[in-house]
Amino acid sequence: MGKPTGFKEFERISEPYRDPLTRLTDYGEIYTGHREDHLSTQAARCMDCGVPFCQSNTGCPVANLIPEWNDLVYKGRWREALQRLHKTNNFPEFTGRVCPAPCEGSCVLGSIDPAVTIKNIENAIIDRGFAEGWVIAEPPATRSGKQVAVIGSGPAGLAAAAQLNKAGHTITVYERDDRIGGLLMYGIPNMKLGKDVVERRIDLLRQEGITFMTNVDVGGSGSNSIEVATLIKENDAVLFATGATIPRDLPIAGRQLNGIHMAMDFLRANTKSLLDSKLKDGHYISAKNKKVIVIGGGDTGTDCIGTAIRHGCSDIVNFELLTKPPTERADDNPWPLWPHIYRVDYGHQEAAAKQGRDPRHYCLMSKNFIDDGHGHVAGVETVEVTWEKINGQWKMSERPGSLKRWDADLVLLSMGFVSPEHYLSDAAEIKLDKRGNYRAEYGKYATNQDKIFTAGDCRRGQSLVVWAINEGRGAAREIDRYLMEESALS
């Protein structure tokens, strides 16, 4: 490494977010700018550790060459760092913003001291690459004569399309929504991933020769649908990359009341209205002047919190069923596994700045929704729960006498996703696994039907953007091998 003793000399200092009370007034990205001197110092903390767990299977799913580009950043060789970054990751501007950074959880330095700020450095490399004009369209020199249809334009579909196009195949990506990007466009708010960032990359993919078709529902029944059989007939291979879009519901008493919405319906409508009219069309679920309860945590729950506060909600609380995580790794959560620890994400920080407290309440089970007498939700009744490990398994029990009412005008359900929708797999006669995902072996990605492959959340279940990119790249390699009998794709 450029500075072998850097990890001893320098403390971890992450790039800060913008001031929470300032950023709450807009939908701009929460990040501050990059400083080269600061990033050089932070890159110097990367150790000559021998075995870089950060790029292993417990770290980065796309096997980013992290020590290499850390060293190059330390030495001021940014363009070379960008080349190393793009070697394994098609979209570092996405992962550098939204990935929770499992690489940092597996950082060897992180076993004894705070980990290297890998995510900050990754984001800075790609942002500089675009600013300097180093990131340009690179269409293939020749075409193979093979055609591939990709259904779904989220990170898995885009990664597969990019790789297959690089191999010279002719690619058409089908998206049932009105904009390309899938989860990247409508599932992640602007504050965390600006849509100009998404569209910038999509424009490059267009310049490289990929065709994008929006408002096309493959396998659907509406006027904008196209039959799966048609795509299979017209293409040499088809990739299903539709994501896991069936949300987990909360079927308790009062679920039918107005004012209870799935988190993704709330987030999608807000982003679409923001892009269409800067929220002037009113075609979104407003939290303005409302008491809001978000049931369920994770990134989606945080995004709901941040969005509701920007609307001007009067109060917001967040229910989590599990216990509050520890501030340090527990004994059963050793390095280099992902650290299950207490974290304050951007939405929690904003809620605390706005209303003076963290919105999260732990060990709460929702029992029923309360009717205001006119068919609209007026609140949620909860009980506290306790968790006990019995014979190696966690068991939950309700705490007697803990029933409590929480007032609410708007309830958002953010409890994850169950599986992909099945009208597409039904039409193609694709077999499902026991969880309802499209069945295909990891690393092979081939379904039970000839010519049809699958990748991303619709195959593995709800996961991270970086895992979707991993699967999209892997599926592209296997499709290329299927078409050409061999593949040079990584």
What average pLDDT does range 24-42 have in this prediction?
97
Q: Per-residue pLDDT tens for 195-208?
A: 999 999 999 999 99
Strands 246-247 and 417-419: antiparallel
Q: 30-39, 55-64, 184-193: which range is least confident on average?
A: 55-64
pLDDT of residue 379: 98
Residue 2 has pLDDT above 80, yes or no: no
pLDDT of residue 87: 97
pLDDT of residue 81: 98
Q: Per-residue pLDDT tens for 120-174?
A: 999 999 999 999 999 999 999 999 999 999 999 999 999 999 999 999 999 999 9
pLDDT of residue 57: 81
* Cβ–Cβ < 8 Å for 214, 178: yes
Of 253, 387, 410, give the one whose Cα is nearest residue 317: 410
* Cβ–Cβ < 8 Å for 188, 151: no
- Domain ranges (residues) in the chain: 6-131, 147-245+418-484, 249-415
Fold of the domain built from segment(s) 6-131:
Fumarate Reductase Iron-sulfur Protein; Chain B, domain 2 (1.10.1060)
Under CATH, to which class is 147-245+418-484 assigned?
Answer: alpha beta
Q: What percent of the chain has pLDDT over 90?
A: 96
pLDDT of residue 460: 97
Same fold, 6-131 and 147-245+418-484: no
Average pLDDT, the chain: 97
What average pLDDT does range 98-106 have in this prediction?
96
What average pLDDT does range 467-482 have in this prediction?
98
Q: How confident is the model at residue 48 (pLDDT cuts 50, 70, 90)?
A: confident
Residue 100 has pLDDT above 90, yes or no: yes
Q: Cβ contacts of residue 372 below 8 Å, gap of 6+?
A: 378
Q: Per-residue pLDDT tens for 350-381?
A: 999 999 999 999 999 999 999 999 999 999 99
Fold of the domain built from segment(s) 249-415:
FAD/NAD(P)-binding domain (3.50.50)
What average pLDDT does range 457-475 have in this prediction?
97
What average pLDDT does range 78-100 have in this prediction?
98
Strands 410-413 and 291-295: parallel
pLDDT of residue 356: 96
pLDDT of residue 334: 94
* Strand ranges, E, within 94-220: 147-151, 170-174, 211-213, 217-218
